[in-house]
Structure formats: C-alpha cells, structure tokens
Amino acid sequence: MRITHRTLLLVAWLCSIGLLRVHGQTSAHPAGSAEVMLVDVLIGASKILVIPPSGTTEEVIIPQKGLPVWDAHIAMDKAMRDLFQRLYNDGWTIESEQDYSVGNRTIYILKRYPR
C-alpha cells in the first residue's frame, strides 16, 4: 500500500470533522471537538513528517549517514522522544498507532482537545 502526503492530509481532515474514527478512539470529549495531527515516522528514510491541523508539514531529518547501525537507531529514538515530548507539552496525546511493513513506517494519530 502506498501512502502519500495527500492521503495523510485527507485522513487528518476526516478525523477532525468526525467522519473518520480511528481504532481505539475514545468517545466524544466534553470540552468539544479535538484537533487532529498525524506523525509519519519513516524509519528507512530516516525522517519524521509532522502534519498538524494547518496542513503545513514539518519534516524532521535524522542525520544517520556514516553512522553504525546501532548509533543510527539511537539517533532515531532520540529524535522521536524529543518530538513526542514537545507535542505532549503542547497538549497532544497519541490516539492511535499503525505500523506498515511496506516502507518501514509507523503513523501516529494525535489529538488535542480544547481546554
């Protein structure tokens, strides 16, 4: 299955307007509708795409060229930890996670509810 940037934007939009429910999605939050963000972790390409509600993609490149395999894994783990900590501090929580063997990627759906 080929997942394009346009497909990810469509999924984020459908989730945000309530037409698409993700596996494990909780019931409606009493504070109102949630913002939806996608985080696409491309392990093989050593990059992370962050697609916020605005649709403006942030690309996090993990420099791994010339690194031994173990150090490359450590660099990817650190980048993911730093990113998810920043998103958590901004009020985002992981709602769903899906692994894809094709392309060696994981797509996370995050939500943030109004306070």
Dump pLDDT digits (tens) for 35-83: 888 888 887 778 888 888 777 888 888 877 788 877 888 888 888 899 9
Which uninterrupted H or E stretch holds 108?
strand 105-112
| 31 pLDDT higher than 80 | no
CA dist 23 and 28 (Å) reads 14
Q: Domains of the chain: which residue ranges?
A: 5-112
CA dist 111 and 115 (Å) reads 13
Q: Mean pLDDT across the chain, nearest whole number?
A: 76
The reported pLDDT for the residue numbered 55 is 75
| 34 pLDDT higher than 80 | no
CA dist 73 and 2 (Å) reads 24
- Decide if 110 contacts 49 (C-beta within 8 A): no
The reported pLDDT for the residue numbered 26 is 44
User: Six-digit token pair at 36?
Assistant: 């939806």
CA atoms within 13 A on the CB side of 16: 18
